Amino acid sequence: MSLSVSTERESHSQFIRNHYLKVKAEEKGVRARNAAQTMGISEGELVAAHVGDNVTRLIDDAATILKQVSTLGEVMALTRNEFCVHERHGVYDNHNFFTHGNMAMGLFVNPDIDLRLFMNHWKHNFAVIEKTKSGMRKSLQFFDKEGQAIHKIYITKHSNEEAFDELIVNHMHKNQEAYMEIEAYEKKSAYKTNDEIDWKRFREAWENLKDTHDFFPMLNKFKVGREQAFEKIGSDFAYEVDNSATRQVLEHARDDECEIMVFVGNRGCIQIHTGPVNKLVEHGPWYNVLDPKFNLHLSESHIARTWVTKKPTEDGIVTALELFDQDSEIIATLFGKRKPGIPELEMWRKIIATLSIKETSHAA
């Protein structure tokens, strides 16, 4: 790298750091993600600008880092998208990394930390140490090539901080430049129009599903958008409900002591909670689950549409509540607690049955 490029990058990073101090002074307690939005940059760029200060750039191989996280003991895993945050406490046990075609994949499967990882998107990795009102906060933070946060792992009072410090030393990147070069994703391929789709064959494919994991490949095969499919398939398989449905379902799950599954993700990670929900709290624009090991923060006002969907499997119908934003991006998905080989909870089906089909539903 030329001296002029290096100088230009350092000048840019210094500008970001100064701008960030100004934003924090104007808005007390502002989170890095929101500050970055205010500044017109990605959160990743903001974090990278502080390398050498309170941030350490880690090696590019996120899988190698993740395999060592179990040494930290109990931590807090955080995965989010624009309108929902999913936080789960536990230990990063039972990992599996593999390739599927052109995709590098990863799994963590245990009762507490349950993750589906799409490793092609894990581009920039950092260790962050921040000063907060409650003391020093240590975390591992992972970003995609656009600088959007994929996943974060926070040290808790139950964690092994010495192991955290050791992990940083062992996985420090040779390049500690305070800069992130971002790259935009290509626009998604367009779906077919309704007139171009053989809906009879699509219906037959849906009817013959054997596993919920076959659903996304089916959509890709027919080049059908998820909500586009829901609108056309028929109300026996998908129907729209009111956007207050998530709140209603969580309240029923709490009152009926029904264990559920809550999936929240982004392009690089899906994080899953399986178990009960108890403490439900409305705070400002967020509707929250605030339990000891599981927190959920849902921006209800950004739910554009909510669907009940039913997918055939070898274990019977699997029913989901699927939340979408105005761009048809999934915010969160809720299921009844289930495992392969075990039918869906009847209690979950009864809870979903309390939801009425929305009058403006597109369902046939």
The string of DSSP codes covering 34-45 is HHHHHHTS-HHH
- Which residue do the tokens 């040290």 mark? 155
What tens digit of pLDDT does each residue of 223-253 get? 999 999 999 999 999 999 999 999 999 999 9
Same-domain check for residues 215 and 343: yes
Q: Answer whether residue 15 is part of any domain.
A: yes
What range does the domain containing 36 cover?
3-93+123-170
Of 88, 82, 84, which is closest to residue 34 (Cα–Cα)?
82
Q: Domain count of the chain? A: 2
What tens digit of pLDDT does each residue of 283-303 get? 989 999 999 999 999 999 999
Same-domain check for residues 157 and 238: no
What tens digit of pLDDT does each residue of 18-64 get? 999 999 999 988 899 999 999 999 999 999 999 999 999 999 999 99
Q: Answer whether residue 189 is part of any domain.
A: no
Residue 55 corresponds to which tokens in the numbers above? 């941030």
Longest dimension (CA), the chain: 66
Of 66, 39, 72, which is closest to residue 147 (Cα–Cα)?
39
Q: Percentage of the chain with pLDDT > 90?
A: 89
Same-domain check for residues 208 and 87: no
Same-domain check for residues 220 and 264: yes
Same-domain check for residues 138 and 246: no
Residue-level pLDDT at 118: 98
Asked if residue 3 has pLDDT above 90, the reply is no
Contact 196, 202 (CB under 8 A): no
Q: Answer whether residue 181 is part of any domain.
A: no
Indicate the pLDDT class of residue 6, thresholds 50, 70 and 90.
confident
CA distance 70 to 112: 12
Same-domain check for residues 154 and 264: no
- Which residue do the tokens 């409305």 mark? 282
Same-domain check for residues 84 and 233: no
Same-domain check for residues 237 and 334: yes
* Cα distances (angstroms) measured from residue 189 to each of 105, 240, 259: 22, 25, 37
Residue-level pLDDT at 80: 98
CA distance 237 to 149: 34
Same-domain check for residues 142 and 209: no
Q: Answer whether residue 130 is part of any domain.
A: yes
What tens digit of pLDDT does each residue of 56-81 get? 999 999 999 999 999 999 999 999 99
CA distance 268 to 354: 34
Contact 209, 311 (CB under 8 A): yes
Q: Answer whether residue 46 is part of any domain.
A: yes
* CATH number where 155 lies: 3.40.1570.10
The 8-class DSSP code of residue 307 comes to E
Contact 250, 332 (CB under 8 A): no
Q: Answer whether residue 116 is part of any domain.
A: no
Residue-level pLDDT at 10: 84
Same-domain check for residues 198 and 161: no
Cβ-based neighbour number of residue 15 at 10 Å? 12
Same-domain check for residues 157 and 211: no
CA distance 57 to 269: 20
What is the per-residue burial (b if ≥16 Cβ within 10 Å, else e) of 238-255?
Answer: bbbbbbebbbbbbebbbe
Same-domain check for residues 58 and 156: yes
